[in-house]
């Protein structure tokens, strides 16, 4: 990254663990913050260690000992030591962002798309402020063999037009095991030359092939949450959906049977119990004739048994905390459900399971079962 910035005629200073600097030491932090306040930097780029926030760590919590989740990205009251260290890096990152904002210095922060760091409340609030841009880069679009979708957020205006995506016409090397250069995961942690040049150009504001037009996220003019682009933005427009169908008596009875089977099932994953739920669900599908009618019937039966956790009135009460667009979306989902119809380009792509999922099937089934029990 430093070399790419220097190639554009700028002076750049790299401060990281590979250079023997511990960014968690108080005197190191104080020195960096003082330099920012003194106006010694035009831009600060942050790449906090993502190991404890990364998918391979938190998704395999039974074997890794991770306590992070999308609901609790900071971890539990008894976090893993790696999570404690990761949280300290986030705290310093927030201090750097505040110092940059106070001194008129632009900043950028990079993390994998799936990193739970993006959900940390302290960081999320700062990145939701007006004037913060978001960009996405797939590493294969920068010449790498792997995809590794990556998000960059910050106040450098060049980030607004940075959007490099996989073209879908090639295979990817999976980030597992070792290659000619050692661990593939460790290799992907370092910036490749192509990505460094693309990011440096965006920071400096150079235009050209490095930064194609089109934002990678939905960005509103007014302050509020930035919502990562959805299917509607990337792959076409969601088709208009008619009101949910009213279930027939037979469909509703089949859906009630599914709810009863789920409620009676044990709290812990068991293959026999899952088979019973699947059989009840298949029977409902046969009765309903399609997934849309079956889903509508199941939702009615679930509300009968457990109440409505998506009650529109309760959602309207969140208006003081949500952006208007987010509130409208939640109300639409509560009243109409999530649309399954789609109108747009249809391309078949080869799908691959998460590379180490086969080694953690029991864990995957347990997590799936927790969702089943929640309805």
Give the percent of the chain with pLDDT over 90. Answer: 36
Residue 343 lies in a domain: yes
For the chain, the helix, strand and coil percentages under 3-state DSSP, each to the nearest 5: 50, 10, 40
β-bridge mates for residue 178, sequence order? 183
Q: Average the pLDDT over 179-201 and give the result.
A: 77
* Lowest model confidence (mean pLDDT) among 9-18, 183-192, 271-280, 346-355: 346-355
**Residue count (the chain):** 375
Domain's final residue, options 229, 260, 277: 229
For residue 112, the SS3 value is strand
Residue 244 lies in a domain: no
Threshold 0.85, pTM exceeds: no
E strand intervals along the chain: 43-46, 106-112, 133-138, 149-154, 163-164, 178-179, 182-183, 217-218, 227-228
Give the total number of structural domains in the chain: 2
Question: Are 268 and 367 within 8 A, CB to CB?
Answer: no
Dist. CA 351–CA 357, nearest whole Å: 14
Q: Quick one: pLDDT at residue 349?
A: 61
Residues 206, 290, single domain; the answer is no
Q: Quick one: pLDDT at residue 104?
A: 94
Q: Quick one: pLDDT at residue 7?
A: 85
pLDDT higher than 90, residue 87: yes
Domain hosting 315: range is 249-373
Q: Average the pLDDT over 226-232 and give the result.
A: 31
pLDDT higher than 80, residue 96: yes
Which tokens belong to 72? 């609790």
Q: Quick one: pLDDT at residue 97?
A: 97
Residues 270, 358, single domain; the answer is yes
Q: Alpha-carbon Rg of the chain, whole angstroms?
A: 24
Which tokens belong to 48? 């906090």
Residues 80, 129, single domain; the answer is yes
Q: Quick one: pLDDT at residue 230?
A: 32
Residues 119, 222, single domain; the answer is yes
Residues 102, 179, single domain; the answer is yes
Dist. CA 363–CA 375, nearest whole Å: 19
- Residue range 255-307, pLDDT digits in tens: 999 999 999 999 998 989 999 999 999 999 999 988 888 988 998 999 899 88
- Residue range 127-180, pLDDT digits in tens: 999 899 999 999 999 988 888 899 999 999 999 889 899 888 888 877 666 666
pLDDT higher than 90, residue 36: yes
Look at residues 285, 302, 289 and name the one whose alpha carbon lies nearest to residue 337: 302
Which range among 61-70, 138-147, 319-328, 345-354 has the greatest average pLDDT?
A: 138-147
pLDDT higher than 80, residue 2: yes
Assign 345 a pLDDT band (cuts: 50, 70, 90): low
Residues 214, 120, single domain; the answer is yes
Residue 243 lies in a domain: no
Residue 239 lies in a domain: no
Residues 190, 307, single domain; the answer is no
Q: Quick one: pLDDT at residue 237?
A: 40
Dist. CA 68–CA 66, nearest whole Å: 6
Q: Average the pLDDT over 24-37 and give the result.
A: 94
Please report, for the domain that includes residue 197, its CATH number: 3.40.50
Residues 200, 268, single domain; the answer is no
Residue 238 lies in a domain: no
Dist. CA 191–CA 4, nearest whole Å: 11
Name residues whose C-beta falls within 8 Å of residue 274's C-beta, 6 or more positions apart in sequence. Answer: 265, 365, 369, 372
Question: Are 204 and 158 within 8 A, CB to CB?
Answer: yes
Q: Quick one: pLDDT at residue 151?
A: 93
Q: Quick one: pLDDT at residue 265?
A: 93
Dist. CA 279–CA 276, nearest whole Å: 5
pLDDT higher than 50, residue 225: no
Name residues whose C-beta falls within 8 Å of residue 105's C-beta, 6 or more positions apart in sequence. Answer: 36, 39, 41, 42, 43, 44, 99
Q: Quick one: pLDDT at residue 31?
A: 93
Q: Average the pLDDT over 228-256 and give the result.
A: 63
Q: Quick one: pLDDT at residue 211?
A: 28
């Amino acid at each position: 990254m430093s070399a790419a910035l220097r190639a554009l005629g700028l002076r750049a200073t790299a401060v990281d663990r590979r250079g023997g600097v511990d960014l968690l030491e108080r005197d190191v932090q104080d020195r960096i913050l003082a330099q920012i306040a003194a106006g010694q930097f035009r831009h600060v780029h942050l790449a906090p260690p993502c190991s404890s926030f990364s998918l391979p760590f938190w998704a395999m919590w039974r074997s890794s000992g991770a306590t992070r989740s999308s609901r609790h990205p900071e971890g539990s009251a008894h976090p893993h030591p790696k999570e404690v260290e990761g949280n300290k890096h986030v705290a310093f990152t927030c201090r750097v962002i505040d110092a940059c904002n106070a001194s008129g210095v632009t900043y950028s922060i990079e993390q994998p798309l799936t990193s739970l760091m993006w959900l940390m409340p302290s960081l999320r609030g700062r990145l939701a402020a007006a004037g913060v841009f978001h960009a996405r880069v797939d590493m294969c679009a920068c010449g790498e063999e792997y995809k590794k979708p990556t998000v960059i957020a910050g106040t450098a205006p060049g980030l607004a037009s940075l959007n490099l995506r996989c073209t879908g016409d090639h295979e990817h090397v999976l980030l597992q095991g070792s290659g000619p250069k050692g661990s593939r995961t460790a290799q992907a942690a370092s910036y490749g030359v192509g990505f460094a040049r693309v990011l440096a150009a965006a920071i400096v504001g150079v235009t050209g092939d490095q930064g194609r037009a089109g934002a990678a996220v939905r960005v509103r003019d007014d302050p509020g949450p930035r919502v990562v682009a959805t299917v509607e933005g990337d792959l076409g427009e969601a088709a208009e959906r008619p009101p949910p169908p009213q279930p027939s008596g037979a469909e509703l009875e089949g859906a009630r049977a599914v709810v009863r089977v789920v409620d009676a099932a044990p709290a812990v994953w068991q293959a026999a119990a899952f088979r019973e739920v699947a059989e009840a669900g298949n029977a409902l599908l046969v009765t309903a004739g399609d997934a849309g009618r079956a889903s509508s019937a199941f939702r009615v039966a679930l509300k009968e048994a457990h109440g409505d956790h998506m009650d529109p009135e309760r959602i309207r009460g969140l208006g003081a905390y949500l952006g208007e667009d987010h509130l409208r979306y939640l109300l639409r989902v509560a009243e109409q459900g999530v649309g399954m119809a789609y109108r747009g380009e249809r391309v078949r792509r080869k799908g691959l399971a998460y590379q180490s999922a086969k080694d953690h099937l029991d864990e995957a089934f347990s997590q799936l079962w927790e969702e089943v029990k929640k309805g």
